[in-house]
């Protein structure tokens, strides 16, 4: 298939496809001459994934990392997850206290070596931001956060398909990035439902 058809199939403008090619998000097609190349179904699928990532709020640079991990996955699941997380998590350089975050990690069942420091730092940064805004999360709510994410994460990891490595990689890498908007949307929906129960329409 040629560029025009790829564009039509995937619903992505030609200049944008060229941009993704330049940025290394989409592999080159098979060259048939100096000014022609042709593309296959894998390109269509890849384009759909790119759009999904970008729509999910992942930057083009982040999407490149995610896709690079998909293409050349590390062998160990922990490393795979680490790469997926590194591509998606916001990064900051500044030093922040990790103690509170570490305590939360322990409450989640953390054991030394069971989780990279960078993820603890993520949590620490989020806590720090809350703190700087003067916002305090009630202890009971924090406990529920831990319980909720534990439920979620345990099921996600239990759901990693072990039949073929490709499936596992796809599941872990894309699941990390693409499920985020869904989880946030589900939380908002659940909040409204819970609010309707507690405050039945009258304050």
Helices (H), the chain: 3-10, 14-23, 41-55, 60-71, 77-88, 99-107, 117-132, 139-158, 165-198
Q: How far is the CB of 24 from a second copy (least distance, A)?
A: 19
- The answer to whether 8 contacts a second copy (rule: CB under 8 A) is no
- Among 14-22, 34-42, 65-73, 148-156, the segment contacting a second copy (CB under 8 A): 148-156
- Among 12-20, 27-35, 59-67, 175-183, the segment contacting a second copy (CB under 8 A): 175-183
Q: Which of residues 3-62 bind DNA (CB under 7 A)?
A: 3-5, 13-16, 18-19, 21-22, 28-29, 31-37, 54, 59-61
* C-alpha closest to that of 121 among 151, 147, 144, 94: 94
Calculate the CA dihedral of residues 195, 201, 202, 203 and round it to 10 degrees.
30
Contact pick of 22, 72, 90, 95 for a second copy (by CB under 8 A): 90
Residue 30 binding target from DNA, a second copy, none, CB below 5 to 8 Å by type: none
Contact pick of 78, 91, 99, 166 for a second copy (by CB under 8 A): 78
CA quadruple 153, 155, 158, 162: dihedral sign: negative
- The answer to whether 67 contacts a second copy (rule: CB under 8 A) is no
Q: Six-digit token pair at 161?
A: 């398909």
- The answer to whether 2 contacts a second copy (rule: CB under 8 A) is no
Whole-angstrom Cα distance, residue 2 to residue 197? Answer: 55
- The answer to whether 184 contacts a second copy (rule: CB under 8 A) is yes
Residue 111 binding target from DNA, a second copy, none, CB below 5 to 8 Å by type: a second copy
- The answer to whether 193 contacts a second copy (rule: CB under 8 A) is yes
How many CB atoms sit inside 10 A of residue 31's CB? 10
Q: Which residues contact 119 (CB under 8 A, 6 or more apart)?
A: 85, 89
* Residue showing tokens 């100096």: 34
Give the per-residue contact string, 102-131, with a second copy (x = CB under 8 A; - = no): --xx--xxxx-xxxx--xx-xx-xxx-xx-
Q: DSSP secondary structure string, 110-124?
A: --TTSS-HHHHHHHH
Binding-site ranges for DNA (CB under 7 A): 2-5, 13-16, 18-19, 21-22, 28-29, 31-37, 54, 59-61
């Amino acid at each position: 298939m040629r560029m025009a058809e790829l564009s039509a199939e995937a619903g992505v403008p030609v200049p944008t496809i060229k941009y993704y090619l330049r940025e290394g998000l989409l592999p080159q097609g098979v060259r048939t001459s100096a000014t022609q190349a042709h593309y296959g179904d894998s390109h269509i699928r890849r384009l759909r994934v790119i759009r999904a990532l970008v729509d999910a709020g992942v930057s083009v640079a982040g999407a490149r990392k995610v896709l690079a991990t998909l293409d050349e996955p590390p062998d160990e699941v922990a490393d795979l997850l680490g790469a997926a997380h590194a591509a998606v998590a916001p990064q900051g350089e500044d030093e922040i206290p990790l103690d509170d975050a570490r305590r939360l990690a322990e409450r989640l069942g953390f054991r030394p070596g069971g989780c990279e420091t960078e993820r603890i730092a993520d949590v620490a940064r989020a806590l720090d931001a809350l703190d700087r805004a003067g916002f305090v999360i009630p202890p009971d709510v924090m406990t529920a956060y831990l319980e909720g994410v534990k439920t979620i994460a345990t099921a996600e990891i239990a759901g990693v398909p072990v039949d073929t490595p490709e499936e596992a990689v796809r599941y872990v890498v894309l699941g990390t990035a693409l499920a985020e908007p869904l989880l946030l949307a589900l939380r908002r929906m659940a909040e409204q439902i819970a609010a309707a129960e507690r405050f039945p329409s009258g304050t």
